[in-house]
Amino acid sequence: MQQQSGSKKATILVVDDEYEIREMISDYLRDEEGYTVFDAESGAKALEILANNSHINMVLSDINMPGMKGFDLLREVKERYPSIKRILITAYNVEDYLELALKYDIGNIFVKTTPFNFNELSSALEKLLNNDIFGLKQHFKSSVKMSQYKITTSKNLDKDAEKITNFIGEKERAHRLELVLVELLTNAIFYGIRNEAPDRKELWAHDFVLPDEQAIIVTVASDSEKYAISVCDHGGRLKKSDMLYWLNRQASRDTNGLPLGIYDTHGRGLFIARKYIDRLIVNIDQKRKTEIIIINYFENTYKGYKPLYINEI
């Protein structure tokens, strides 16, 4: 994974009560990625290290630890050191933590897979440390070519989605990919750009063409391991807190076992994308730009739960 010089100079604090996991991550970040790394076995030890080292740029913490939990640690980090980046890490189902993520304002929860996905961790850290969250470049080598499409009308979204799916060569999950793309393109056009009301879809007009400066930009890239699609609008209306709220509504169940958000008019498209796609990444620059990145692996190489990536600047 290519790194920019800014992130190479960064200092990361790794917090995990499991020695083997803590050492594995620390050794990789130090020896393979060139970071300066501190490590701690508990939240209390992490706060002690932070108090004595003013140059730490990021805290990467496990969630379930004896004593202070990861959410509580990162809340303390945010209050005491607001400039420090924060990522949680877990081996468990992220959907069980969405309510806490909303409460503690956590957008990034990395998941320990088998085998451990070091490239994915590197990409997640680099984006945050460099404040360079947009685009597919962090997910591929610089030699990978990328193709781009401009979407200016809602009249042919099914055909647009089919065209992109055919370009990638996805066959096994083609129908689901097309469904997700139509949802994301619809959201980008009608919410991101046109700011339409979600509960009045029957009144939405479709006889329009967006000007070039408002066009939805779709970027596609692939390598031997995975493919990725970026859907970007220049409305920037999405918020991290809203995204977490909607996802939690769809993941949480009522007494009958139904999603709390089953009748919600907003958020279902993003939940569908998270359900059907291996990786869903949301990048937000409020009032300027929103980007949704979806990534699918060609093989089921990394076994485990799906991470949470919602970046907001």
Q: Which residue has the tokens 């689901």?
A: 176
Three-state DSSP at 271 gives helix
* Judgement on whether residues 41 and 142 belong to the same structural domain of the protein: no
Q: What is the domain-level CATH number for residue 33? A: 3.40.50.2300
Q: What is the span of the domain harbouring residue 191?
A: 137-312
Residue 266: pLDDT over 90: no
* Judgement on whether residues 269 and 231 belong to the same structural domain of the protein: yes
What was the pLDDT predicted at 9? 80
Chain segment 80-128, per-residue pLDDT in tens: 999 999 999 999 999 999 999 999 999 999 999 999 999 999 999 999 9
What was the pLDDT predicted at 8? 61
* Judgement on whether residues 204 and 286 belong to the same structural domain of the protein: yes
Chain segment 212-262, per-residue pLDDT in tens: 999 999 999 999 999 999 999 999 999 999 999 999 999 999 999 999 998
* Judgement on whether residues 153 and 176 belong to the same structural domain of the protein: yes
Q: Which of 32, 55, 57 is nearest to 121 (CA)?
A: 32
What was the pLDDT predicted at 199? 84
* Judgement on whether residues 172 and 305 belong to the same structural domain of the protein: yes
Domain-terminating residue out of 129, 156, 188: 129
* Judgement on whether residues 200 and 242 belong to the same structural domain of the protein: yes
Task: Compute φ and ψ for 54, nearest 5 degrees.
Answer: -80, -5
Length of the chain: 313
* Judgement on whether residues 125 and 144 belong to the same structural domain of the protein: no
Q: What is the domain-level CATH number for residue 239? A: 3.30.565.10
* Judgement on whether residues 114 and 180 belong to the same structural domain of the protein: no
**Angstrom distances, CA of residue 184 to CA of 28, 231, 241, 272:** 35, 7, 18, 10
Chain segment 126-150, per-residue pLDDT in tens: 999 999 999 999 899 999 999 999 9
* Judgement on whether residues 152 and 278 belong to the same structural domain of the protein: yes
What was the pLDDT predicted at 171? 86
What was the pLDDT predicted at 5? 42
* Judgement on whether residues 121 and 176 belong to the same structural domain of the protein: no
**Quick check: bond before 115 cis, omega within 30?**
yes
What was the pLDDT predicted at 268? 82
Spatial distance between the Cα atoms of 218 and 291, rounded to a whole number of angstroms: 9
Domain-terminating residue out of 129, 162, 190: 129
Q: Which of 13, 2, 33, 7 is nearest to 86 (CA)?
A: 13
Sign of CA dihedral 78, 80, 81, 87: negative
Q: How many domains does the chain have?
A: 2
Domain-terminating residue out of 103, 129, 155: 129
Q: Which residue has the tokens 């970027």?
A: 219
Per the prediction, the chain carries an average pLDDT of: 94
* Judgement on whether residues 306 and 174 belong to the same structural domain of the protein: yes
pTM, to two decimals: 0.93
Query: How confident is residue 57, by pLDDT bands cut at 50, 70 and 90?
Result: very high
Residue 6: pLDDT over 60: no
